Amino acid sequence: MKELESLHFDPAAVPTPCYIVDEARLRRNLELLQMVQQRSGAKILLAQKAFSMYRTYPMIRKYLAGSTASGLYEAKLAREEMGGEVHIYSPAYKPEEFDEILRISDHIVFNSCAQWKRYRDQVQACSRKISCGLRINPEYAETETDLYNPCFTGSRLGTTLANLEEDALEGLDGLHFHTMCEQNSDTLERTLRVVEEKFGKYLSRMQWVNFGGGHHITRPDYDVELLIRLCQDFAEKYHVQVYLEPGEAVALHAGYLVTQVLDFVHNGLDIAIVDASAACHMPDVLEMPYRPEILGAGQPGELAYTYRLGAPTCLAGDVIGDYSFAAPLQIGDRLVFCDMAIYSMVKNNTFNGMPLPAILLAHADGRVETVRQFGYADFKMRL
Ligand X SMILES: *Cc1c(COP(=O)(O)O)cnc(C)c1O
For the chain, the first-to-last Cα distance in angstroms comes to 42
Binding residue for ligand X, selected from 158, 212, 321, 357, defined by CB under 6 A: 212
CB of 209 to ligand X, least distance (A): 13
Element (H, E) at 201: helix 185-203
Binding flag, residue 255, ligand X (CB under 6 A): no
CA 58 – CA 75 distance, rounded (Å): 16
Residue 120 gets the label, from left (phi > 0), alpha (psi -120 to 50) or beta, of alpha
Give Dmax (Cα) for the chain.
Answer: 69
Cβ distance 46 to 372 under 8 Å? no
Cβ distance 14 to 258 under 8 Å? yes
Binding flag, residue 245, ligand X (CB under 6 A): yes
CA distances from 253 to 77, 134, 225, 257 (A): 23, 32, 21, 11
Closest alpha carbon to 132 in 151, 100, 106: 106
Binding flag, residue 87, ligand X (CB under 6 A): no
Binding flag, residue 50, ligand X (CB under 6 A): yes
CB of 158 to ligand X, least distance (A): 9
Cβ distance 108 to 100 under 8 Å? no
Q: Nearer to ligand X by C-beta: 254 or 309? A: 254
Binding residue for ligand X, selected from 134, 164, 181, 280, defined by CB under 6 A: 181
| Contact window for ligand X (CB under 6 A) among 56-64, 136-144, 206-214, 313-321 | 206-214
Q: What share of the chain is helix, strand, coil (3-state, %, to 5)?
A: 35, 25, 45
Binding residue for ligand X, selected from 25, 61, 178, 198, defined by CB under 6 A: 178
Q: Nearer to ligand X by C-beta: 85 or 245? A: 245
Element (H, E) at 321: strand 319-325
Binding residue for ligand X, selected from 49, 107, 253, 281, defined by CB under 6 A: 49
Binding flag, residue 86, ligand X (CB under 6 A): no
Binding flag, residue 283, ligand X (CB under 6 A): no
Binding flag, residue 246, ligand X (CB under 6 A): yes
Q: What are phi and psi of 65, to 5 degrees?
A: -75, -20
Binding flag, residue 213, ligand X (CB under 6 A): yes
CA 200 – CA 18 distance, rounded (Å): 48
CA 110 – CA 128 distance, rounded (Å): 18
Cβ distance 210 to 42 under 8 Å? no
Q: Nearer to ligand X by C-beta: 244 or 309? A: 244
CB of 252 to ligand X, least distance (A): 9
CB of 14 to ligand X, least distance (A): 26
Binding residues for substrate: 248, 284
Binding flag, residue 158, ligand X (CB under 6 A): no
Q: Nearer to ligand X by C-beta: 289 or 317? A: 289
| Contact window for ligand X (CB under 6 A) among 116-124, 211-219, 225-233, 288-296 | 211-219
Q: Nearer to ligand X by C-beta: 181 or 358? A: 181
Binding residue for ligand X, selected from 158, 247, 292, 357, defined by CB under 6 A: 247
Q: Nearer to ligand X by C-beta: 50 or 254? A: 50
CB of 184 to ligand X, least distance (A): 13
Q: What residues are paired with 210 via a beta bridge?
A: 176, 243
Binding residues: 248, 284
- Provide the binding-site residues for ligand X, judged by CB under 6 A: 47, 49-50, 89, 178, 181, 212-214, 245-249
